[in-house]
Structure 1
Amino acid sequence: MRKVKVGIIGCGSIATHRHLPEYMLNDHVEIVAVCDSVEERAKEKGRKYNANVYTDYKELLSDSNIEAVSVCTPNYLHAPITIAALNAGKHVLCEKPMATSKEEALAMIEAAERNNRKLMIAHNQRFVESHVQAKKIIDSGEIGKIYSFRTAFGHGGPEGWSVDGADSWFFQKEKAFIGAMGDLGVHKTDLLRYLLNEEIVEVAAFVETSSKQDSTVDDNAVCILKTETGIIGTLAASWSYVAKEDNSTIIYGEKAVLRLEDDPDYSLIVQYKNGKTDKHKLGEIQSNENGGQHNSHVIDLFIKCIVEDKEVPIDGYEGMKSLNVILASLESYETKKIVTIE
């Protein structure tokens, strides 16, 4: 059986709860290296996974045995590390948001194409079972024309998730670039594009810092989005939901309403215009609650595409299109205008 030798750059919470354990469970993977600027953090992961330890990602990339890397660093390092890895001949799975600008995203895409290496962005919402089933229902025409949508992603904030707690880079603009919209909102822009099979072309947004006193990035955002065929809806991203996490999406169609992750017992509810209701218990959505241990399927798909030499499901172009909505929301708030996405 072929084993893909993998290195993980960044040993914080996303690597701890998603990348490292999911790589470990994949029969086609051998974790050979870990890297973190905090030496003890890297050493702890090295001991646990029997991997070589680095504090400089450039040294990790110089290892010719490593075929693929996960980039699990603060946002401002996504582009430079990804480009360096691609130039070193590695396939790359990069955490979201893929970059801090469209220019960075384009440079990442160019590096992947020039080096003939795979670049996948770690958006996981497309692979949630309720979302997969909703996509099938929408594509079948069962709910008819889609009129509107409402989606939200919110929890109490990164201090309950990040290894650095309240001192996390998530709250520092120079490292995070953007707050709740980049952490959570970008997930939902990718999900909406996937479900509706349309691009978002206009954005109006309020992007505020209201609940995290020492933060220099947003912690609450509400956006109005319009797709190319005129479907309109709202997206909310927040680090101020102090009770249960909200990760819900509702699609309003001509013949039915789809409620996704909106009910504690049923992950997909279809409410038909004729009064009929179908309720589905499906696999749990990935959550930061309870340690976030649900399989995201991202790592398995990334490795499968390497082993079988297939196109990745969320490539750099897909990542950039979702990023562009986030960038447009910032521009809309700053200019107080509706922003058109080219």
Structure 2
Amino acid sequence: MAKIGVGIVGCGGMGAALAQGLAGLETARVVAAYDEAPERAAELAGKHGARACANYQELLADKAVEAVVVASPQFAHPANTVAAARAGKHVFCEKPMAVTLEGCDEMIAACRAAGVKLMIGQVCRYHAVHGKVRELVASGEFGRPVCMTVHRLGGTWGGAYAQSWRLSRETSGGNLLEIHSHEIDFMRWVCGDVAAVYATGGVYVDRRLDYPDLTLVVMHFASGAKGLLHTGQVSAIGGYGGRVDCERGSLVFPAIWGAEAGIHVAKTGEKATFLPASELRVEDPVRHELRDFIDSILNDTVPAVPGEEGRAAVEVGLAAYQSVECEETVPLPLPV
């Protein structure tokens, strides 16, 4: 079977994970790698039998490269994606899509003009609990969602995550984009488009940051449902869970990962049952999202998470920052 040749730009932790995901597919293979740190590109290329490139232009000029996985820091996503599209390569871009809406729009426009696919790596859609919550709500069995709350909390940046670019909102997008674009995307996936955002927060613990290390984000969905996202890097005891309350029942997920991961499910007036995450059989999430990307190329279909979906998550995050600053509800869409 012919395999789609893939080039990786950005060979750090996420680039390595994505390369490993591609290695598990029968329809794709890593053929080239580039990173500003040559030793990282050499290590990834050596592991996957690929070629380490001296620069990004060399990778894009390689005719064996049919698609590019963009796993560079998010401030570089627009430039990397636009260059790939202009070279005729399909693009899988790790989240967050970009740190500005202008960047998102440039990426979408370039890929559309070139006639290539653009998929954003919102991998939480492929995790067991996230996917089952979406499936249960979308079934209509519990009625329309009324309110969704999600919390994802942890400590301050440390170790490999304390690079200077991650401490600046201009380059990282801050934690609402770099990390919590996952949760924003999840909540939109379950409840639909967001019509307005109100947020409050600030810098309470990590004084190195120029963006909030604690944020409470209220989402007013176009459907009329409400959402609350509680995020932060101020917690000695972290956690990740939430709930969806619908017209005729509730879904409570105390943990996304670990021993307590799963979903308590109850229709109104009935006893709750528990679905352990360990019994929700799913493919490796990174491999699965890449399989969907490669399939969209082979079958000429719309990617599972197109650029417009990645942009929508960025827009909600940017609206939340704006709301923290102005202390008012911010309507969507944001002006560009």
Which segment drifts farther, 164-173 or 298-307? 164-173
Q: Which residue of 2 aligns with 1:337?
A: 328
Per-residue Cα deviation, 1:110-138 (whole angstroms, up to 9, x for no partner): 11111000000000122222232222322
Which whole-Å CA distance do the structure 2 matches of 1:222 and 1:294 have between them? Answer: 28
Counterpart residue number, 2:10: 10
Query: Cα 1:150–1:301, aligned 2, differ >3 Å: closer, same or farther?
Result: same
Alpha-carbon spacing, 1:63–1:295, altered in 2? closer, same or farther (3 Å): closer
Task: Report the count of equivalent residues.
Answer: 328
Distance in 1 separating the partners of 2:53 and 2:35: 7
2:277 to 279, 282, 285: 282
Residue 266 of structure 2 corresponds to: 271
2:49 aligned with 1:50, yes or no?
yes
1:297 matched residue in structure 2: 288
> Aligned AA for 2:328?
K
Residue of structure 2 aligned with 1:248, choices 211, 228, 241: 241
- Cα separation, 1, equivalents of 2:253 and 2:111: 34
Q: Tell me: CA distance 1:158–1:315, structure 2 relative to 1, closer, same or farther (3 Å).
A: farther
SS in 2 for 1:97: coil
CA contact (8 A) 1:131 1:195 kept: no
The answer to whether the 8 A contact 2:25-2:287 is kept is no
Determine the structure 1 residue equivalent to 2:298: 307
Identify if the C-alpha distance between structure 1 residues 81 and 106 changes in structure 2 by more than 3 Å, giving closer, same or farther.
Answer: same
Counterparts of 1:19 and 1:29, CA distance in 2:
12
After TM superposition, the score normalised by the length of structure 2 is 0.91
In structure 2, relative to structure 1, the CA distance for the partners of 1:312 and 1:294 (3 Å cut) is closer
Looking at structure 1, the residues matched to 278 and 83 of structure 2 have their Cα atoms a distance apart, in angstroms, of 37
Look up the equivalent residue of 2:66 and give its one-letter code: E
SS in 1 for 2:303: coil
**Residue in structure 1 matched with residue 187 of structure 2 by the alignment:** 192
Corresponding letter in the other structure for 2:292: L
What CA deviation, in whole Å up to 9, does each residue of 1:246-294 have, x standing for no partner? 3323101222110135374351210332131121123599xxxxxxx86
Counterparts of 2:169 and 2:68, CA distance in 1: 25
SS for the counterpart of 2:180 is: helix
* Structure 2 residue 166 is matched with structure 1 residue 170: yes
- Residue in structure 2 matched with residue 320 of structure 1 by the alignment: 311
Q: Corresponding residue for 1:121?
A: 120
1:153 and 1:184 in contact (8 A); partners too: no
CA distance in 2, matches of 1:80, 1:339: 29
Q: What whole-Å deviation, never above 9, does each CA across 1:163-186 have from its counterpart, x for those lacking one? A: x3423532233421x221012221
Show the 5 A alignment for 1:228-247: 228-244=222-238, 246-247=239-240
Q: Does 1:31 align with 2:30?
A: yes
Of the structure 1 ranges 246-255 and 261-270, higher mean CA displacement relative to structure 2 is found in 261-270
**Aligned equivalents of 2:164 and 2:324: distance in 1?**
25
Structure 2: distance between partners of 1:165 and 1:99: 18
TM superposition shift of 1:158? 4.7
What's the CA shift for 1:75? 1.2
Letter in 1 for 2:143: G
| Equivalent residue, structure 1, for 2:198 | 204
Asked if the contact 1:61/1:88 (under 8 Å) is kept, the reply is yes
Q: Distance between the aligned counterparts of 1:284 and 1:31, measured in 2?
A: 32
Q: Is the 8 A contact 1:38 1:55 kept in 2?
A: no
Evaluate the alpha carbon distance shift between residue 242 and residue 29 of structure 1 in structure 2; reply closer, same or farther with a 3 A threshold: farther
2: CA distance between counterparts of 1:131 and 1:43? Answer: 35
Q: Could you tell me whether the CA contact under 8 Å between 1:256 and 1:273 is conserved in 2? A: yes
Contact 2:323–2:329 (Cα < 8 Å) also in 1:
yes
Q: Which residue of 2 aligns with 1:69?
A: 68
- Aligned to 1:259, which of 252, 256, 275? 252
Measure the CA separation in 2 of the matches of 1:266 and 1:275.
22
| SS of 2:208 mapped into structure 1 | coil
Indicate conservation of the 8 Å contact 2:99/2:171, yes or no: no
- Displacement, 1:156? 3.0
Indicate how the Cα distance of structure 1 residues 50 and 158 shifts in structure 2: closer, same or farther if over 3 A, else same: farther
Name the aligned partner's letter for residue 248 of structure 1.
G
CA RMSD of aligned residues (A): 2.1
Q: How far apart, in 2, do the equivalents of 1:261 and 1:55 lie? A: 46
Distance in 2, Cα, partners of 1:189 & 1:221: 13
Question: Under a length normalisation based on structure 1, what TM-score does the superposition of the two structures give?
Answer: 0.89
Q: Is the 8 A contact 1:120 1:313 kept in 2?
A: yes
Partners of 1:40 and 1:275 lie apart in 2 by 58
CA distance in 1, matches of 2:127, 2:279: 8
Unaligned runs of 5+ in 2: none
Q: Aligned with 1:15: secondary structure?
A: helix
Distance 1:326 1:266, change over 3 A: closer
- Paired residue secondary structure (2:8): strand
The residue identity in structure 2 corresponding to 1:191 is: F
